[in-house]
Structure 1
Amino acid sequence: MNVDIIIPALDEEDSVGAVVRSFLALPRVREILVVDNGSSDRTAEVAAEAGARVIREPRRGYGSACLAAIAALKRDNDVVVFVDADASDDPADFVALIAPIVADHADLVIGSRVLGNAEPGAFSPQQRIGSRIAGAWLRLRFGLPATDLGPFRAVRRSVLDSLRMADLTYGWTVEMQIKAAQQGVRYVEIPVAYRNRRAGKSKVSGTLRGVAGATMKILGLLAYHDVVLNVPMTKRALNAVTRVREFF
């Protein structure tokens, strides 16, 4: 069973090289795709020098970067793992992350920062609150035993294709979990470490605007799939709600 890793990256030249090298050294990893999401620094060059295949996606957005990488994946891989470029994800958790899929016990595995140990300052209060709200919504309304929306995750390739992912921004992670619940995908979480980024500033938790924008996007997607897709509405009303969702 081979594993390909996707690393979305925006201005991460100081950390992406070490991330690529550390994950390339792990068992079962065949290829790492780094998506340069419009960086103004040497992110692409550093990633390539470290051994990654670099994909360029100028349209900004976490989901845009992930979709570009998925389109570029080779067809014969079995598992896809998503990793952040800032070194916050610990390679030591990789084997445990893919283990439920390798053993055919799960199809989607989320690395939960809530269940694991976070370095002081790595998992901000805003992130914790947002994860708890989203996790509670996923449990109560979608029946998914979720505690976190952590981006460090592994998914069986055939399942990833069936989810038909579409979100272009930071709603990507929760969209995957919502659609997994709707399709009855076998889902588990494992505790993972969460480290402080090794360089630069977070695109989300680093600013109040980033936190607010990501939170609104996530809650908007949850509401859309929970309410709009389950309650009969006129075409005009549905179009209006869809426009509001796209705004966020």
Structure 2
Amino acid sequence: MFRGHRVTVVVPAYNEEATIAEVVAEFLAPECVDRVLVVDNNSRDRTAQLAASAGADVIAESAPGYGCAIRAGLDHSVECSADILVITEADGSFRGEDVWKLLYYLVDCQMVLGTRTTRQMVEQGANMDKKLRWGNVAMAKLLELFWYLPHEPRLTDVGCTFRALWADSWRSIRAGTREPGPSFSPEMICAAYQRGMRVIEVPVHYGARLGGESKHSASLAKVSKTALGMFKAICRKRFRG
């Protein structure tokens, strides 16, 4: 627990048998974490079995996509009385010890976002080359521009999937999210601004994947598709509500 609040870490997973057991162990290690919940999103390998063996609770979500898996995990965590929800990746690129950092900042806001654009904290071999870093910065600055009034946000990485929020925050923004894929990440931020929430961004460690390849940024084509989807999601939230 963290200051009397129950903390659940949600891990969306699709064919991550090479990394999932180590990720579960990594995020169960901090004393502040009460539960790791792995959302098996139609995996065709042993992801679910290995996650359970490592100590995670596992649920299945049949609707494909990162956004669908995260929504299912957050909904389930709230139903199981979690007070704080942390989202991370199943590839091992984030550190469990950084959960503490997110939680301490969460005391002062409704949502804390990690950023992978601080070069000093991006480890050798991490999937964050120039096109990815500046692509994330560009989307962040677009979101900043659209939501400058009244929030004056300071963002550099709206695609970072390592973040924390209160259960009450999720209840408030849940109806404002619908993206099935990676565009869920910036959509979630826009939904928070629509509800007048305070959102803080902090640097987190970002390392190389422990195995497999990214579903959204392994090639220029995938990066471009993800960026276009995020652009559309941000515009839709700002101009269509």
Q: Say whether the fold is shared (TM-score over 0.5).
A: yes
Matched-pair contact (CA < 8 Å) for 1:5–1:80: yes
Cα deviations by residue, 1:196-222 (Å, 9 ceiling, x for unpaired): 101011111112332122111100011
Corresponding residue to 1:32 among 15, 21, 36: 36
Displacement over 3 Å in runs of 4+? none
Which structure 1 segments of 5+ residues have no match? 230-248
User: Is residue 19 of structure 1 aligned with residue 54 of structure 2?
Assistant: no
AA in 2 matched with 1:52: A
* Matched residue, 1:125: 130
Structure 1 counterpart of 2:218, from 206, 213, 217: 206
- Quick check: 1:100–1:109 contact (8 Å CA) kept in 2? yes
2:164 match: 154
Q: Does the CA contact (< 8 Å) of 1:6 and 1:83 recur in 2?
A: yes
Gaps of 5+ in 2: none
* 2:173 matches 1:163: yes
From 106, 110, 113, the equivalent of 1:107 is 110
Q: Secondary structure at the match of 2:207?
A: coil
Aligned to 1:242: none
Alignment partner, residue 41 of structure 1: 45
Per the normalisation by structure 2, the TM-score is 0.89
Displacement of 1:75 in angstroms is: 4.1
**Paired residue for 2:196, among 167, 184, 194?**
184
Q: Bigger radius of gyration, 1 or 2?
A: 1
- C-alpha distance in structure 2 between counterparts of 1:68 and 1:126, whole Å: 31
Deviations 1:199-247 (A, max 9, x none): 0111111123321221111000111122344xxxxxxxxxxxxxxxxxx
Secondary structure of the residue aligned to 1:29 is: coil
Q: TM-score, normalised by structure 1?
A: 0.87
- Partners of 2:47 and 2:67 lie apart in 1 by 18
Cα deviation digits, residues 159-214 of structure 1 (max 9, x gap): 01100232211111101111112212111111111001010111111123321221
Number of equivalent positions: 227
Aligned residues: percent identity? 33
Note the alpha carbon deviations across 1:113-151, whole angstroms, 9 max, x for none: 113611234213232122111111121211222111210
Deviation track 1:70-114 (CA, whole Å, cap 9, x = no partner) reads: 23223421110001000001112110111122xx31110011111
Asked if 1 retains the 8 angstrom alpha-carbon contact of 2:74 and 2:170, the reply is no
Which range moves more in the overlay, 175-184 or 66-75? 66-75
